[in-house]
Amino acid sequence: MLKSISPFEKIALVGIGLIGSSLARVIRREGLARHVAISTRSQTTLARARELGLGSSYTTDVKEAVRDADLVIVSVPVGSSGEVAAEIAPALKPGAILTDVGSTKASVIAQMQPHVPAGVHFIPGHPLAGTEKSGPDAGFADLFENRWCIFTPLPGTDPAALEKLSEFWRRCGSNIDTMDPQHHDMTLAIVSHLPHIIAYNIVGTADDLQSEAIKYSASGFRDFTRLAASDPTMWRDVCLHNRDAILEMLGRFSEDLASLQRAIRWADGEKLFDLFTRTRAVRRSIIEAGQEIDAPDFGRHAIEHPVKG
Amino acid sequence: MLKSISPFEKIALVGIGLIGSSLARVIRREGLARHVAISTRSQTTLARARELGLGSSYTTDVKEAVRDADLVIVSVPVGSSGEVAAEIAPALKPGAILTDVGSTKASVIAQMQPHVPAGVHFIPGHPLAGTEKSGPDAGFADLFENRWCIFTPLPGTDPAALEKLSEFWRRCGSNIDTMDPQHHDMTLAIVSHLPHIIAYNIVGTADDLQSEAIKYSASGFRDFTRLAASDPTMWRDVCLHNRDAILEMLGRFSEDLASLQRAIRWADGEKLFDLFTRTRAVRRSIIEAGQEIDAPDFGRHAIEHPVKG
């Protein structure tokens, strides 16, 4: 495919944090639009985006950013989706595609859909990509490479618009999946939301103890601190907006933990050994699925000791 | 310090897994002994150690390995410590230093000490270093670089022997700490044992659901699979041999999780935001303490995309 053919004339990025700024970078690298309009509420963040040269135009007026855009990508904490949709709705161009990147889908749909004007293609989306960093400096063009982007299209979605958006994300490096919003929210509750909540919790428990958790963190604890360093606003909103699925998964987790705790108390070595053997195989599967690097300790060692290693 | 001065004439490595084989490699690189005797129960493992050229002599007869050794390092699952001590005791040389690398200390001391002959310096130790891999192929000479090695010396320990062993570990790359066994076991329960148990548990919960946990693991879940891929025998033994401290920490963790779950159920956004902000600072402290790399996503991205990144 020729890079000179821009699938979109104008793309508006609403929100320019980790995801928005990674999109800005890959759009430029792959030539996916002639004009990239960047909008965010914060003057400071907008100024930084301009310094980084992330787009073609910069404004805190989101209506101005989305005017005439063929594709509008909302990359804000999920709790702000409704407010953004209400604000941009009058300025959206008929025929435009409106999408988002939120980690919860049923809630985002409920918040945004009522505001979407007839003639605008609203296609909820979620790229499963990120790091523990946030803000416009944290983004990078490869973020979406070989990561899944999940769409949860509404009934009656125009197949041509869906294909156009899918092609955009493929050119950002993603693999595409579609599913219904409820299935998305339940799946993400187990693969993403529960791990983050557990990480936040264990780091909090250790911090409360004023133990030597920091000094001796290389013995296991530090692995959890990465997820627990994720953006607080984003994750507060995820917890509030995927509550039922998260509570269901927390219930299962606690039930399993009680059973494991009982095995420890009663010295049931066989049960412990069986679980620990089963879980080892799961990591092997993730590496084989191309979703994890096959290097000990996440490859940290290769970075710490590049010469001697 | 001249590398040609070997602090020990003969070192015996009892067990040649991740830790034992890393020791073998760093001992050779740093010239820390003239003779390295390797012993393990498994014929297959011993043959592999010989193929890798890890030592000077190889035997499944542990008494033969420790005979005339100035330093004996026991690197076996903690549940086997007592058996090993009983077997080697009659063959230990007067004046020899006997140490171990076990993740629990009170239990190892209780198992080994009764067998240690008068005139042998028994100094329990624990290098806080490892990866999720196991076996003689998994070791590497840099494993202990900038990691802590904790000693839990018994009353009446000869200071000269302790200093000699400390110097050995410093030359392996470690920083030295000493503490009492109970404090070690409680500290490790929070920084290492609890994280491993929680990781095992969440990976088990996700696996039970037959969800798309593997496919979509990059959204958080995969971070836990590393710890949950650790050696099952080693971790079964840790659970069985540090039971009280682990149960205490599991109690605190569950209490905190119940409180967090309640905040989610009752939509207490402020409480969530406060916790998520506090935990973010903990990771920053770990990076500043030099115990974690300052690269997003554990630096995985740099390894996955070394050219484009």
Looking at residue B77, its pLDDT comes to 97
- Answer yes or no: is pLDDT of B221 > 50: yes
Do residues B239 and A264 make contact, with C-beta atoms less than 8 angstroms apart?
A: yes
Partner B, chain A 213-232, Cβ-Cβ below 8 Å: 213-230, 232
| Angle (nearest 5°) at CA A22 between A17 and A23 | 105
* Joined tokens for residue A200: 């936040």
Looking at residue A1, its pLDDT comes to 44
Looking at residue A3, its pLDDT comes to 47
Per residue in B15-35, pLDDT (tens digit) is 999 999 999 999 999 999 999
Do residues A105 and A124 make contact, with C-beta atoms less than 8 angstroms apart?
A: yes
Query: Does residue A139 come out as left (phi exceeding 0), alpha (psi in the -120 to 50 range) or beta?
Result: beta
Contacts of A152 in chain B (CB under 8 A): none
The owner of tokens 């506090």 is B278
Partner B, chain A 167-196, Cβ-Cβ below 8 Å: 187-188, 190-196
* Joined tokens for residue A65: 């950013």
| H or E element, residue A8 | strand A8-14
Partner B, chain A 138-157, Cβ-Cβ below 8 Å: 138, 140-143, 145-148
By C-alpha distance, which of B298, B203, B218, B297 is closest to A127? B218
State the average pLDDT over residues B154-170.
97
Distant-in-sequence, close-in-space partners of A306: CB < 8 Å, separation ≥ 6: none
What domains sit in chain A, N to C, each tagged with a CATH number? 8-179 (3.40.50.720), 183-304 (1.10.3660.10)
Looking at residue B5, its pLDDT comes to 61
The owner of tokens 């994280």 is B195
Burial tier of B231 (Cβ tally within 10 Å: 0-12, 13-18, 19+): buried
B265 shares contact with chain A (CB less than 8 Å): yes
For chain A, the straight-line distance linking the first and the last C-alpha, in angstroms and rounded, comes to: 41
Looking at residue B75, its pLDDT comes to 98
* Joined tokens for residue B248: 């205490």
| H or E element, residue B228 | none
Q: What is the pTM of this model?
A: 0.93
Do residues B101 and B74 make contact, with C-beta atoms less than 8 angstroms apart?
A: yes
Confidence of residue B307 (pLDDT cuts 50, 70, 90): low
**CA B279, A227, A240, A43 torsion: positive or negative?**
positive
Looking at residue B300, its pLDDT comes to 86
- Calpha distance B109→B123 (Å, rounded): 9
**Nearest C-alpha of chain A: how many angstroms from B243?**
7
Rg (CA), chain B: 21
Contacts of B304 in chain A (CB under 8 A): 145-146, 293
Nearest CB among A194, A236, A283 relative to B273 is that of A236
- Answer yes or no: is pLDDT of B149 > 60: yes
DSSP per-residue letters across B24-42 = HHHHHHHT-EEEEEEE-S-
Per residue in A148-177, pLDDT (tens digit) is 999 999 999 999 999 999 999 999 999 999
Q: Minimum mean pLDDT among A68-77, A85-94, A298-307: which range?
A: A298-307
ipTM of the complex: 0.93
- Answer yes or no: is pLDDT of B303 > 90: no
